[in-house]
Amino acid sequence: MRTMLTGASVFCGNGFVSADVVTDEGRIVAIGPDIKEKAEKVIHCDNFFVIPGLIDVHVHFREPGAEYKETIQTGALAAAAGGYSAVLPMPNLTPSPYDLDGLRPQLAAIEKLGSSIGAHSRVIPYGRITDGKKVADLEALAPYVCAFSDDGVGVQDGALMEEAMRRAKALGKLIVAHSEDTNYAPEDPRSEYMQIVRDLDLAQKTGASYHVCHVSSAESIRLIREAKKQGIDVTFETAPHYLVFSNENLPDDGRFKMNPPIRTAADREALLEAAADGTLDMIATDHAPHSAEEKSKGFKGSLNGILGLEAAFPVMYTSLVEGGVIPVDRLVQLMSTNPAKRFGLPGGELKEGGAADLAVVDLEDVFTIDPSGWKSKGRSTPFEGMKVSGRVIMTMTEGNIVYER
């Protein structure tokens, strides 16, 4: 369907311009002021802002194996409500995608999604790096997955990681590492950065493309910054909660329990500096739903994992842009452009001929985050009660409206 969004302020790489956007057959066919052409559907976007659809390279949708926490469908609906045109669910599932047999149930659930709710955000799964003892069947998985990760646990065996990097490089795929050395407690930042030290050496040795999940410590950032200067092919993400909170006086509440944990004010400041100076590559939510019971046992007794998809954009816009840390074009880069480029995905920018993946947001709408009405099955988020700006009004993927407020 030929659709026109008219009267909006449209993001064009380094700021907003008054323009109309016309989409047809999944592509953007025109961007410009006062476009004079007929469209089957006209959407008036006066006082709203159009940005590229967000891309989250780190979510947990729990299907197959723990559908009571989240399904592909509820996760995709949550993503769309958060302004995301594409999401990449991690492989800590049952069965787990070590090989094609393990991946097929997830692929079937993604295929079923289209018939159950029609248009939806893109859902592109990961394959595993290892089964803990040997490298997974990367060659068989490669055509169906976005990258390889063992998120949930770190690859403890350096020899396995080296083999995986060599094979992933030959396939043109990223190794996406959950860096956690189990010789240290999660609260000890060495649990994160000691595996980064090892993996940076292996990435340099093998020439592999290496991406680090949910970085939370200042030392990890220092190591990655130096590796980039040396020409090592490394990128990293952090999550909104590490940019907003520090561990001083955290409440005894499961809403603040995740792995890696929220760290010190100095770690948070290092992450904010990395966001501002260009070292940070992307922001990913690590959206990880659990049941209300599993998150109701206080900080110590609750399971790791919090919700992020339906809060991330307004939280980051309020904290980082309105907070004066980065301009809005840098936020779009972190939440859309860079993930698209690094993972080889459609979208990430608004241009004629490009994918019609976009979000319409009201940057002036001030509201309080209330998860009670969210699309996700989960409700546990540390952002509950925060006063924020930047409400998502509509999300479009491949020219289809997948969410409309």
- Select from 335, 294, 298, 300 the least CA-distant residue to 314: 335
Backbone angles phi, psi at 38, to 5 degrees: -85, 145
Q: Which residues contact 242 (CB under 8 A, 6 or more apart)?
A: 214, 215, 216, 262, 263, 267, 268, 271
Residue 20 appears among annotated catalytic residues: no
What is the 3-state secondary structure of 131-193? CCCCECCHHHHHHHCCCEECCCCCCCCHHHHHHHHHHHHHHCCCEEECCCCCCCCCCCCHHHH
Encoded amino acid at 385, one letter: G
Is beta strand 41-44 parallel, antiparallel or unpaired with respect to 282-283?
A: unpaired
The token pair at 153 is 């646990």
> What's CA 4's distance to the chain center, in Å?
28
From 286, 329, 357, 365, active-site residue:
286
| 8 A C-beta contact, residue 151 and residue 157 | no
Q: Is residue 51 within 8 Å of 331, Cβ to Cβ?
A: no
- Just list the catalytic residues: 286
